[in-house]
Each structure stands twice: as structure tokens, then as C-alpha cells.
Amino acid sequence: MTRQAIARSISRHTLVWVLGSFIVVPLLYAVLAGLKTTGALTTNPIGLPDEWMFSNYGTVLSSGAFWQQVGNSVMIAVLTTAITVAVSALAAFAFARYAFRGREVFFTAFAAGLMFPPAVAVLPLFVLLRQFGLLNNPLGVILPQAAFALPITIIILRSFFRTIPAELEEAAIMDGCTRFGFFWRILLPMARPAIGTVSVLAIVTSWNNFFLPLLVLADEKWHTIPVGIQQFQGQYSTDYAMVMAYIVLAMIPALLFYAVAERQLIGGLTAGATKG
Amino acid sequence: MTLSATTDDRPRHAARAPRERGPKASAGTRLRGWLASTWFLVPALLLFLCFVLTPILVAFFTSFFKWGGFGFPDDFVGLDNFRGLAGDEVFRGDLWRGFLLVVLTLVLQLPLALATAVLLNQRMRGRAVYRAIFFAPFILSEVIAGVLFGIIFLPGNGLADTLVEDLPLLGGLAGKWFSDPDTALPTLIAVMTWKYFGFHMMIYLAGLQGIPKEVLEAASIDGAGAWRRFRSVTLPLLAPTLRISVFLSVIGTIQLFDLVWVTTTGGPTHATETMAVTMYEFGFKRYQMGYASAISVAMFVISMVFSLLYQRYALSRDLQGAVTSAGGRR
């Protein structure tokens, strides 16, 4: 390398490091803060703890509420994703592979769903869910989440289904496959990468959702992690070290999931974004 | 990226008419053919109708009533709720703050994301790790980010105070941040940038990867320097991706709730309040559901009008391929 190239490489890395430290320092601070006493947090915000309070993490981990919230969040995310993907795949199949009257109208209606944010519908949703008796019922979160995930899921799956050659379907039909048989036994297995992508998107959206569960799942036994954190913060409002331990532990599942599913997640977000 | 093959939006083979539907087919056969295709849509339509479309209609309906939220709304007040909104200082403030948030996002967050994307688009050691780190905050929920920064920005001995205390310019911020009406909104912007710039960086990176190397090389041979190549080649070719990211930013800002609610609940003295926060306040704290519905309707109309205008004037020329392949090409 020439001297100039080395200098350029160093300055580039320095820039990235400076930027990266803005991202990382708050996260590291959280981990360390969770290991301090709240007293030490105010007298010694930056340094390493004098007294390592692993008990903060221990207290959270041994509380039933934390695990209950993890369980609720997992259950709601899994069911939301299962319903979203199943329902969208059927619809995307029809949109991608059949010509029928009204197809474009229906599709436009779904795609228009992308244009307005869920927060717009939260209040009337609450009113409706109360009418349906779905307050304090996980279905009251699952079904609306699935409904709001439909547009992006249908759009991504539809464009994937379109790439599968028509000859394949013709051959399957000739061999005595029904439409649904083709969908179920041939198309879905082929679409595994796209299904992975949309599933990861649905899981992350559901996992982080706050507004709807806050309104619908007021009962403590149904709290999801985000709602739980907010409650915990209210309860321990001055025990900052404890709150930090709680959010650090709450970050772990999301970051682990990100580590495992990075490719699908980023693929899905960029595909979603570039198609929005 | 992973969906490279899926981003084609041209008319396709599947659009052909079903074989069984000839010109002579009877109405019954045709209906049967139609139903054979449409039953696949039924579950999606039902879900969408119940939980997306109906709520919006309900919001429109209840926004014409003075309604506490219980029983059937019967006190019809016409447009009074909307007149109330138009004269409400807080709501007008929401609009102004929303506008500020959008503008500041556009001039701060997106350029930062673009610069980072350009930086990381070059060959450098550890690029994947940097990319993953910048993107990480986007994965965390708003509640986690909000609580974390709520504590970091605590006045007194929070991390932020300790860090800036002795600095010349930023030192004046110590003790203020979220607790002073003048600095609360800028602090919120900082947190939003932390949380979201990685997402925009990621879609820009996908867009940058779609720009053919040959074009840049050709410009280089023609004597264009780095800045000129960026201005005259990269930027125009990235325009569709930029337009999408602007769109997503604006729509996201219109519905901003979680971060604000967790960090400041809209305070101090409404300095960080957004439409969604005002809606929550009126609907669930003061039980003025009719008025809160009017705010929902306003949010709906604003996002709808913005989306339609934006699609009409900014996105329309992209929709045939340019945007859609930006994320797909390698």
C-alpha cells in the first residue's frame, strides 16, 4: 500500500469508530449500569463498578414477571407470524398467479394499507376490540398485528410467487394436482427464503410493538416485554441500576435473534422499503 | 438483497386469463372460475376488513360525536371536534413539532445515514461488523431505547451530563436535555437519530450496491473526481432509494408515539408532544373519545394526503423498476 492509501484507510476507520462509539457507548453503559448500585450510578457514572452488583440481574432473572413477559411476547410474536404468513401466502398466491375480475382493485386496497400508520387505528381498534370482548386477550393484539402486517407480506410474497414459472404449475395440474395442492406441496416449499424473510419481519414488528399491547393488555399477566419494561420503570422509578439490568436482559433476545436472522431481516427491510 | 429475483414489477405470465374461461362460458361457469381464484383471498380480506378498514370507519364515525367512550355515541356534534382541533394550541403545536421533526430528520439523520453508507460501501476490513453495529439500535424496541436514554439524559449525574459538563459548547446542556422545554425536542431528535439512522443506512447500502461499477469507472476515466462522481453519478442513481427513505421517515414521524411516551410523555409543557400522544391523552386519560377520534382522523388524512401527493409527484416515475430493482441488484 502506498502511504496515501494507508492514511486514507486510517482516517476512514477513525471516522467509523467515532460514529460507532455513539452507538455502542449507550449500550455498554447500560450493561455496566446494571452492575452498579444506584448510588454508584450517580457518583461514578462512567467508570467500572466498585462493587459488582450481579444481584441486579439475578433479581430480574428470578422474578416470575420477567419470564412471564418473555413467554407472552414469544407467544404473541409466533401466533402473529403464523397467521400473517398463512393468510398472506394464500392471498399472494391468488394475486400472483390468477387473473380474475377485481384483482387490481383488491391488490390496491391491500397495498394502500402501507400508506397509513397503525397508530392511526389504535383508538378505534380499542373500541372495536372491547365490543368483540378481546380486551385482555392476546388475540386482541395478535389479530390486528396480523392484519397490519398483511400489506407488506402480501407484496413481498406476491413478487416471489411471480418468479416461479407457469410451466411448473401446468405440469403439476397435468399430474393431477389441485390448485391448492400445487400451492401447498410445490409453491410453499419453493418459497422458503421469501417466507423466512417475511416471518422475520413479522416477528420483529410484533416483538417491539408497544402502543397496541399497552392499551389492549392492561392485565399484568398478559404484559409483553415492552409493556413490562414501562411498568417496571414506573415501579422502580428511582432504582435506575435495576431498570438498566431489566432492559439489558430485555435486549438480549432481540439481539440474539438479529444475530441469527440478520440476512433475512435486512433483506426483508430493504425489499419492503424499496417496494413501499 | 436476498430477494433479488422477486423485485420485478412488469406484467407477467401469470396475468394470462384462466384457460377455462372462454368467451362462450356461461355466467355460472365464470362465477365458479372467479370464486376458485378469490377464495384464497377470503381470510386476508376478512382480517383486513375487521382490523384495518373498520377501525378507520369507526374513527370517522365517532369523530362526529361528543363521546366519553362508553355506550353508543349519541351526542352528535357535527364538525365541532374538528373545529376544536383547529383552535387547540396543543394540536397546532403537534403539527408544528411534527413538521420540525420531519425537517430535522431530513437535514440531519438522512445525510448522516447516506455518508455512513458511502463510507461503508468501500472495501474496508471489518465492514460487516460495523454495518451490524450501526443497524443494531433499529432492532431494539422503542421502549428499550426510550428508557435507556431517559436514564442517560437524567439531569444531575446522568451519563450525558458527566460527558458534556466540561466541554465548551455542549456544557450548557448539562442538567437540561429532556427536562428543559428548549432542549427536549433536540434531545428527542438525537435519540431518534441513534435509533433509526442505521435503518436508512442499510437501505442506502442496498441502493449503492445496485449502482454498476462501470458507470463510476467511466466517470472516473472522464476525469471526474470523487466529489463529482458522487454528485453526478451516485446521487442521481440513488435518488429512488432516497425518495423511499424520505417517505418512510415522514410516515414514521406522523405516528411517533412510543419513544416520546417513554422518555417524556410529551413534556415538558408539551415541548415534545406529537399527535399520537395528544390522541392518547384525550382518549385514554380524559375519556374524550370523540375528540381523540378526530385526532386519529386528522392523522389518517394527513398521512393519506401526504402519501398520495408524494406518490403522484415524487415516486411515480420510480415505480416502474428503478426503485424496485435498487434493493435487488447485486
How does pLDDT run across B54-89, given as a tens digit for each residue?
999 999 999 998 888 777 888 888 888 899 888 888
Tell me: pLDDT of A104 over 70. Answer: yes
Predicted pLDDT of residue B188? 93
Provide the shortest C-alpha distance from residue A170 to chain B (in Å): 11
Residue identified by cell 393488555 is A217
B69 falls within a domain: no
Residue B171 lies in a domain: yes
Q: Based on the fold, state whether residues B158 and B221 are members of the same structural domain.
A: yes
With a cut of 50, say whether residue B258 has pLDDT above it: yes
| The predicted structure's pLDDT at residue A38 | 76
Same domain for B23 and B146? no
CATH number of residue A105's parent domain: 1.10.3720.10
Q: Which residue has the cell 471526474?
A: B224
Specify the pLDDT at position B317: 61
* A159 and A270 fall within a common domain: yes
Same domain (yes/no): A268, A156: yes
In which domain, by residue range, is B208 found?
Answer: 80-326
Is residue B150 domain-shared with residue B240, that is, in the same domain? yes
Of A122, A147, A233, the CB nearest to B48: A147
Q: Which grid coordinates are listed for B143? A: 421502549
Mention every residue, 6+ apart, whose C-beta is less than 8 A from residue A117. Answer: B251, B252, B254, B255, B299, B303
Is the separation of the CB atoms in B273 and B266 below 8 Å?
A: yes
pLDDT level of residue B7 (50, 70, 90 thresholds): very low
Write out pLDDT tens, residues A22-50: 999 999 988 888 888 777 777 777 777 77
Decide if pLDDT at B169 tops 80.
no
Q: Are B91 and B302 in contact (CB under 8 A)?
A: no
In this prediction, residue A225 carries a pLDDT of 92
B21 and B116 part of one domain: no
Interface mutation vs chain A, best among B4, B40, B127, most A CBs within 10 Å: B40
**In terms of domains, do A264 and A196 share one?**
yes
Which chain A residue lies closest to B190 (C-alpha atoms)? A22
What value does the mean pLDDT take over residues B228-255?
88
Query: Considering its fold, how many domains does chain A have in total?
Result: 2
- Write down how long chain B is: 330
Q: Which of B38-47, B97-106, B143-152, B306-315 has the lowest mean pLDDT?
A: B306-315
Reply yes or no on whether the pLDDT at A171 is more than 70: yes
Same domain? For A96 and A222 the reply is yes
In angstroms, the separation between the Cα of residue A210 and the nearest Cα of chain B is 7
Of A23, A119, A273, the CB nearest to B136: A23
Enumerate residues 6+ apart whose C-beta is below 8 A from B107.
Answer: none
Candidate from A28-37, A124-133, B145-154, B258-267 with smallest mean pLDDT: A28-37
Residues of B in contact with A147 (CB under 8 A): 47-48, 50-52
Q: Has residue B58 been placed in a domain?
A: yes
Cβ neighbours around B315 below 10 Å, total = 18
Contacts of A33 (CB under 8 A, 6+ apart): A41, A45, A240, A241, A244, B151
Nearest-neighbour CA in chain A from B279: distance (Å): 8
Whether residues A88 and A156 share a domain: the answer is yes
Whether B238 has its CB under 8 Å from any CB of chain A: the answer is no
pLDDT for B267 equals 77
Residues A89 and A120 in one domain: yes
Q: Which helix (H) or strand (E) holds B75?
A: strand B75-76
Whether the per-residue pLDDT at A95 is higher than 70: the answer is yes
Share the mean pLDDT of chain B.
82
Contact call for residues A247 and A31 (beta carbons, < 8 A)? no
Q: Is there a single domain that holds both residue A98 and residue A183?
A: yes
B203 Cβ contact list (under 8 Å, min separation 6): A269, A270, A273, A274, B241, B244, B245, B327
Cis, bond preceding B23 (omega within 30 deg of 0): no
Based on the domain organization, do B142 and B281 belong to the same domain? yes
pLDDT of residue B104: 92
% pLDDT > 70, chain B? 88
Residue B102 is assigned to a structural domain of this protein: yes
Residues B99 and B57 in one domain: no
Task: Enter the pTM of the model.
Answer: 0.85
The shortest CB-CB distance from A266 to any of B45, B202, B279 is to B202
Give me the number of domains chain B comprises. Answer: 2
Whether residues A146 and A16 share a domain: the answer is no
Contact between chains at A125 and B8 (C-beta distance less than 8 A): no
Same domain assignment for residues A81 and A177 = yes
Question: Nearest CB to A273: which of B136, B143, B327?
Answer: B327
- Region label for A41, one of left (φ > 0), alpha (ψ between -120 and 50) or beta (otherwise): alpha
B33 and B89 share one domain:
no
Per-residue pLDDT reduced to its tens digit, A52-78: 778 888 888 888 888 999 999 999 999
Name the band, by pLDDT with cuts 50, 70 and 90, for residue B214. Answer: confident
Task: Report yes or no on B138 lying in a domain.
Answer: yes
**Across A59-68, B66-75, B187-196, B314-323, which has the greatest mean pLDDT?**
B187-196
Domain coverage including residue A37: 3-54
> Are residues B43 and A86, on separate chains, in Cβ contact within 8 Å?
yes
- Identify the pLDDT of residue B324: 38
Closest CB to B116 among A13, A19, A46: A19
SS3 for B66?
Answer: strand
CATH number, domain with residue B217:
1.10.3720.10
Q: Collect all residues of chain B within an 8 Å Cβ-Cβ radius of residue A166.
A: 13-14, 16
Same domain, B111 and B232: yes
B103 touches chain A (CB under 8 A): no
Residues A49 and A69 in one domain: no
| The pLDDT of residue A197 is above 50 | yes
Same structural domain, B139 and B191: yes
A42 plus A73 within the same structural domain: no
Residue B174, in any domain of the structure = yes
Using a pLDDT cut of 70, give the percent of chain A over it: 98
* Whether residue B119 sits in one domain with residue B219: yes
Please report whether residue B188 resides in a domain. Answer: yes
A·B CB contacts under 8 A: 321
* B237 within some domain: yes
- Which of A78-87, B46-55, B315-324 shows the lowest mean pLDDT across its residues? B315-324
Q: Establish if B50 touches chain A: CB-CB under 8 angstroms.
A: yes
ipTM over the 0.95 cut-off: no
